[in-house]
Amino acid sequence: MNIHEYQAKELLQKFDVATTRGKVASTLDEAEQIARELGDVEIVVKAQIHAGGRGKGVFKNGFKGGVHVRKTHEEVREVAAKMLGQTLVTHQTGPAGRVVNKVLVAQSAEIAREIYFAILLDRESAAPLIVASSEGGVEIETVAAKSPKKIIREAIDPLAGLQPFQTRKLAKQLGFDSSQLKSASKLFEGLYRTFVAFDCSMIEVNPLVVTTNGDVLALDAKFNFDDNALYRHPEIAAMRDVAEEDPREVEASKHGLNYIGLDGNIACLVNGAGLAMATMDIIKFYGGEPANFLDVGGGATEEQVTEAFKILIADKKVKAILVNIFGGIMKCDIIAQGIINAAKTVKLSVPLVVRLEGTNVERGKQLLKDSGVALIAADDLADAAQKAVAAAKRK
């Protein structure tokens, strides 16, 4: 689940992580009022969408840039008028862009230095890990490729937590002046408390800045949360902005389905994330293009299978559907009956290729054969992929 920049600021402020003053606005009057409250300072207006590259983006109304600095509340209102309700296109949104429904109006910071700082879960150690660099404001992948020695890593004991000596060491390694060590250490400690309190899998601050006045601030932060822990944080779940998400993914999540839309024309319905990845790979291997990732899980119900089919055929680019099921916990005959009922319910208009393997596979295949549903049976995954690619080309 992603959250907006203004929401990230709100979470950081709960743990005294220093950041710039500001609030979110959804109307021109709100934007102007916030600017008035900030006083006689330079003010930055930032479009709030779930995509990077906002500063270099272009609105479809011709206005350039989703990040602007202004000096008066009148100018802030003027900029907000060109952003709110308009579609911003960046390198991450694709040509369709995203509609800007909110803008962050905040005090602008006079930056002297930019730093990269992140806390994430390290899979190898199964513990939190700090990744930092004195080279902030750019993609950390670029720094890692060009200057790997500038990447600092600090492991955190999950029981002891982030220790004061570690925050001081990190501050010194990142080049903070002696006068800034205390504020930098406090900010690092606050970020870690935020990470733990909200069951985060990642907090990335880029940039973390030192201002010309010597203040240490977290200017922009990105959060990733452990979805399995969201039930403990209704306040975080409430931050979800479904308007920023693919409607198909939103619908899938309502039915416990893991769906990610892609650009191909062969829809996939698979049980198990690993098998779903392998299915997409083999479709590509035989010259096709997968239209989605869809994992119905190991215990899919007939209702879930039906809803999955509805989501798949709603994609107008889909020319064929490939169902690849390995019956383990879920028996093949139960899945087969679900496929039959779902296919009849949604009235499929594209070729359906089905590959079943596992528990009660022969019973499942017989059910499909006797169902009267127009489908293409496949003996194995390679056969299924080839038949799906061929069917999509004929459609």
Cα–Cα–Cα angle for 261, 266, 269, nearest 5°? Answer: 70
| C-alpha–C-alpha distance, residues 216 and 255, integer Å | 44
What amino acid occupies position 357?
E
SS3 188: helix
Span between the terminal Cα atoms of the chain, in Å: 36
| C-alpha–C-alpha distance, residues 379 and 368, integer Å | 13
CA dist list (Å): 319 to 78, 383, 386: 46, 18, 14
Q: Which residues contact 343 (CB under 8 A, 6 or more apart)?
A: 309, 352, 373, 375
Query: Is residue 204 annotated as part of the catalytic site, yes or no?
Result: yes
Output phi, psi for 85, to 5 deg.
80, 0
Q: Is the Cβ–Cβ distance between 68 and 45 less than 8 Å?
A: yes
- Tell me the torsion sign for CA atoms 362, 367, 369, 374: negative
Q: What crossing angle do the helices spanning 73-83 and 28-38 adopt, rounded to 10°?
A: 150
Q: Is the Cβ–Cβ distance between 291 and 265 less than 8 Å?
A: yes
Pairing between β-strand 200-211 and β-strand 292-295 as defined by DSSP bridges: unpaired
Q: Out of 116, 135, 189, 259, pick the active-site residue.
A: 116
Q: Out of 5, 30, 189, 204, pick the active-site residue.
A: 204
Query: Is residue 116 annotated as part of the catalytic site, yes or no?
Result: yes
Q: Is the Cβ–Cβ distance between 209 and 219 less than 8 Å?
A: yes
Q: Which residues are catalytic?
A: 116, 204
